Structure formats: C-alpha cells, structure tokens
Amino acid sequence: MNSFWSLVSATLVKDIRVEWRSKDALNSMLFFSLLVVVIFSFSFDPLAEESRHIAGGLIWVAFLFASVVALNQTWARELRNQVLDAYRVSPAPANALFLAKAVGNFLFVSVLEALMAPLFVVFYNLRALGPAWQLLPIAVFGTWALVVNGTFFAAMSLRTRSREIMLPLLLFPVSIPAVIAMVAGTTSILTGEESAHFWLVLLLTYDVVFTTACLALFEKILHAE
Amino acid sequence: MKKLFPILSVITAILLVYALYQALVVAPTDAQQGDVYRIIYYHVPSAWTAFLLFFINFIASIQYLVSGKPSTKSAANWVVIVLGVVGVGACFLPAVQRLIPAGMRPSAVATTVLMIPIFYFLIGKLFPGENLDVLAVTTAEVGVVFCTIVLVTGPIWARPVWGIWWAPGDIRLTSTLVLWLIYVAYLMLRRFSNSAQTQMMAAALAVFGALDVPLVYFSIWFFRTQHPQPVIGGGGSMDPRMLHVLVVSWTAFLFFAFLVCWSRFRLELLHREIEEAHAMESLAGAGVAAKASLPLGRSSR
Amino acid sequence: MNAVKFLIAAYVATWVIHGVYLGSLIRRFGRLRQQAKELGKGK
C-alpha cells in the first residue's frame, strides 16, 4: 500500500517539476483563459440584473473548454518519449499512474480556475448573494468530476484518429450531470435564491461513482495497443 | 433459418400496418390534445425499444469486459444473481414500496428487476465470445436510430401542444438526449479508434454511460423542482384503450427492431469475415514472397 | 387542422429515418458482397 502512494506522489512530483520547468502548457493555458473570459464578457451586459443568473453557466462552460485544452496534452508528453510503454511493462499498478495524472491535472486546472475567477468577478461585477464559501466545494468537486473522467478519456483517445476532438466528444456527454450540478449550484449561490446543498451531494456522488469506475477500468485502457 | 427472415418480414409489415390503423383510427381522440396526441404511438414505443436495445448493449458490454478472466466472469455472475434476488425481494418491502411511483405495481417492478439476470444469462448463452461484441455494435447502432426518432418526434409533438419545441427541464426528453449523445460518442469511438482494444474501450464507455444515466435523471429531476417545466408527452394515468394501442404499436416495432438488428448483425459478421479473409490473403502473399513453404493451395498475384 | 400537420410530420419523419438507415444497410451489404466476390476471384 505504501509503495502505491509513493509511486503516485513520485509520478505527480515529476509531472509538476517538468511542467514548472517548461511552463509551456501553463502559459498558453493562462492566455487562453484570459481570452475566453474577455470574449464571453461581450456576450451580455454585465450590469443587468440577470447577469447573476447567467454567470454561473458561462463560468463553467469557460472552465470546461479550458480543461479540455489542458487534458488533451496530459498523455501527449508521455507518448512522445515512449514513457507510456515503459509504464506498461513495469510492475507498477496502472492505477497509480492514473491517480498521479488525475491529481496533476486537477492541480493544473485548479490553478487556472483560481486565476480566471477574479477576472470573471471583475468583468461581470459579481457578488454572491448566497453563502459564498460554498463556491469552494462546488469548484473542488466539480473540477475533480471533469478531470477524473477527462484523464480517463484522454487515455482512451490516444489510439484514435483525430485525437484532440475525440476527448471532448467522449467527455461532454458523460459530464452532463456534473455540469448541470456545477452550473445550478453556482447560480443558486450567486443569486442566493435556493440552497446548493442537493447539487453538492450530487457532485460528490458523481465523483465517487466515476472515480471508482475509472480506477477499476484504467488498467485495460493502458494496455491498449 | 434462411426462410425465417422473409416470413418474419411479412408478419412485421402486417403488424406495422395494423398498429398504424389502431393508432389513427381505433384509438379514441384525446380530450385535451385532439388528434395530435397520436404521435405517442410512435414516440413512446420507439423510446421503449431504444432503451431496451441500449440495455442489451450494456449487458453485452459488461459481459465482454469480464470475459477476460474466468475469475472475474464467475464473480460477475454471482453479483448479477444476488442483484436479482435482492432486487426482487426489496420490491416487497414497505420501505422500498414507498419509493415506487404511483401507478406501478410492486410485482411489475419486481418483474422488471428480474429481467436483469435473465437477460444477462440469456445473452451470455446465445452470444458466445466475439459475438458479444457484434451484438454490442448492433444494438448500439439500431438503438441510436430509434433514439433519434424519439428526439425528432418529441419536439414535433411538443410544439403544437406546449407551444415550445424543447424544455431543458423535461426530464424524459433530456435524459434521452444524453443517452443519444453517449451512444453517438460510442459509435464514433468505434469508428475512429484503430486499436486492438477498441472493443474493450467501447465496452468501458458503455458502462460509463450506464452509470451516468441515473445521475442525469436525478440532476434534471431536481432542476425541475426549482424551475417547473411542462412535461412533454404527458404524465399520469392513461385511458386503457390508449394503453392497449400503445402495446400493440410497441409489439409491431419490436418485431421491426428485431429484423433490423438481425440484418445489422449479419452485416457485421460478413464484414468481419471479409476482413479476416483480407488479412489471411496478405499473410499468404507475404509468405509466398518470402519463399516460405506453406501449404497454400492457391496462386497469388 | 393545423395540429394534424404535426402528427403527419412525426409519422413521416419516423419512416424517413428508418428508411435512411435501412438504405445504408443495403448499400453496405452490396459493397461487402462485391468485396467477397473479388476475394473469391483472387483465389
């Protein structure tokens, strides 16, 4: 058990270190996120009263697209240097690799969200009328929901033609309940009109169900030729 | 076997015409919606057929995933049996009975739950090995066709009745849309993937889809309680004469779906045979080119 | 009546969709049979 977690953390630390040194992906993602926020801000008048009702949806759609761009390169680096093949022949459990990748992606996307969120607040003049602290668990559970399935489907898309488009094609339908929960939860907190409690429970359930499914099936995907 | 197909086709055609007659002429006119409600006799049976086909795909996918090792296979068998027993027993507990929507008898729910192990073992028996995957592809494709019909006839029905084409809070139509999206993604994965493990990955996707559907249902259900929306397709109980026509229509479409699936199944078998033959031929060609002594008995170009 | 137009549209749409799918099946069968014949000749 110990070796499992040490493998996870070793892989995770390696990924973070590689990313930190090159900062490729991070820089391009940051700029992309800024562009997304700006363009979305033209889609409606942020001073209008309805902006609070719509902002939740817009924010999560923006995060969704930004995470897809991030997820797409999850495995690309491994593929380039035949690292994936090395993993396959090693006795290391496939799950350890998956967990490391998923957590790495989670951290990466969370950084993006942390940077984009203040931009949204500024551009849309947002102020939460409900309990603002609840936005944090929604963001955490929601991001994990996107990232855990995203990492899994990114691995699946590796052996397909049009790899980059395959990932969102697979991810979006399955993510729909999570997206509904994130958007509705965020909107209820911003407008203060309803409790976000149900949405939090739904997100948590979603996370548990799909994390289990991904861990159970990842090994089969990793060994795809 | 060869004769069966044309005979069944004739029977199916007759049934479909009969169902049409029942739907348009025999069924009584609805007090509120007039004659437009008759769309239900195509909309609902298509939905039930699509769900049945996707359910079969789900079962076939699970079987395919566990068929790798005998230990996982027998473990899955036991899980299914326990699920069936517990599910049927639970239907008769008062705590569970309170959850059953009004209008459904516990015995009906129990019978539906019993279908899961029955289907599981029947499909395992009738479609051994590779045929499981052929069944999966077949049911996914034909399921998408029927599901498309549900999604097209639904809005066509909604427009005159509710004045709107679509209501995002319509739990049934939206859940059906998500199911359609998942299975279109499934078919795309099969088409674009050129790995030896494509079948395995598609089966995994089907399992993900099946896990997703109840979550979709709950999320939209709660969304609806916050934002009341019209229910397209009507809720509540049904005039027994209408129910009778609905069942007749469904029977006709089931026969039709069976024939279409049978054709698609044969098509897939033929396709795989030809691919194998191509592979053998290129192997044979390579063998002769390398001057290997193989008992070929055929001349190559 | 206007509403009946929708009824007819729904029924027609159903059979058009089925027809398109069945047509694609027939076309694929034809192509495969052609390939099978060529394989047979190649022998």
Task: With respect to residue B113, please indicate whether it lies within any of the assigned structural domains.
Answer: no
Q: What is the mean pLDDT of residues A55-75?
A: 84
By CA distance, what is A215's nearest residue in B?
Answer: B204
In a domain, B194, yes or no: yes
Give the mean model confidence (pLDDT) for residues A105-131: 84
Give contacts of B43 with chain C, Cβ < 8 Å.
10
What is the pLDDT at residue B229? 65
pLDDT tens profile A162-198: 878 889 999 999 999 999 999 999 988 888 888 888 9
Contacts of B256 in chain C (CB under 8 A): 18
With touching defined as 3 or more inter-chain CB pairs under 8 Å, the answer for chains B and A is yes
pLDDT of res. B297: 43
ipTM of the complex: 0.92
pLDDT tier for residue B221 given thresholds of 50, 70 and 90:
confident
**pLDDT: which is higher, B299 or B151:** B151
User: How large is the average pLDDT for residues B182-200?
Assistant: 88
Q: Does B222 reside within a domain? A: yes
- Assess A174–B contact: CB distance below 8 Å, yes or no: yes
More confident of the two residues B8 and A25 = B8
Give which of B39, B276, B299 to mutate to test C binding, by max C Cβ within 10 Å: B39
Are chains B and C in touch, 3+ Cβ pairs below 8 Å? yes
Q: Are A163 and A157 in contact (CB under 8 A)?
A: yes
pLDDT value of residue B299: 43
The pLDDT value recorded for residue B100 is 67
Answer yes or no: do B197 and A199 touch at CB < 8 A.
Answer: no
Per-residue pLDDT, B230: 61
Which of residues A214 and A221 earns the better pLDDT score?
A: A214
Residue B155 pLDDT: 92
List residues of B whose CB lies inside 8 A of any C CB: 20, 33-36, 38-39, 42-43, 46, 142, 145, 148-149, 152-153, 156-157, 159-160, 256, 260, 263-264, 267, 270-271, 273-274, 277-278, 281, 298, 301
Number of domains in chain B: 1
The pLDDT of A142-146, averaged and rounded, is 95
Inter-chain contact A160–B178, Cβ cutoff 8 Å? no
d(CA A85, CA A95): 15
Residues of C with Cβ-Cβ distance to B38 under 8 angstroms: 7
Choose the mutation target among C1, C2, C4, C6 for the interface with B, i.e. most B CBs under 10 Å. Answer: C6
- Domain assignment present for residue B82? The answer is no
Q: What is the mean pLDDT of residues C15-32?
A: 95
Confidence bin at B300 (pLDDT 50/70/90):
very low
A159 touching B, CB under 8 A?
yes
Q: Does a structural domain hold residue B10?
A: yes
Give percent of chain B with pLDDT exceeding 70. Answer: 88
Q: What does the block give as tokens for B278?
A: 């191509």
Residue B41 lies inside a defined structural domain of this protein: yes
Question: What pTM does this model have?
Answer: 0.87
The rounded distance, in Å, linking the Cα atoms of B125 and B144 is: 25
B36, C6: Cβ pair inside 8 Å? Answer: yes
Distance CA A218, CA A156 (A): 9
Could you tell me the pLDDT band of residue B104, with boundaries at 50, 70 and 90? low
- Evaluate if residue A111 carries a pLDDT over 90: no
Beta bridge partners of A157: none
B254 min Cα distance to partner chain C (Å): 14
Query: Which of A130, A56, A200 is closest to B222 using CA atoms?
Result: A200
- For residue B193, the cross-strand partners are A160
Higher pLDDT, A125 or A59: A59
State the residue range of the domain holding B12.
4-29+37-67+129-279
Hey, CA dihedral for B97, B99, B61, B263, is it positive or negative? positive
Higher pLDDT residue, B182 or B213? B182
C15 min Cα distance to partner chain B (Å): 9
pLDDT for the residue numbered C14: 95
pLDDT of residue B296: 47
Interval B259-273 mean pLDDT: 94
Residue type, C8: I
Residue B101 in any domain: the answer is: no
CA-based nearest residue in chain B for residue C10: B153
Interval A90-95 mean pLDDT? 78
Q: What is the DSSP string of B149-210?
A: HHHHHHHHHHHHHHS-S--TT-HHHHHHHHHHHHHHHHHHHHHHB-STTHHHHHHHHHHHHH
Which whole number is the average pLDDT over B25-48? 86
Quick check: is B215 in a domain?
yes
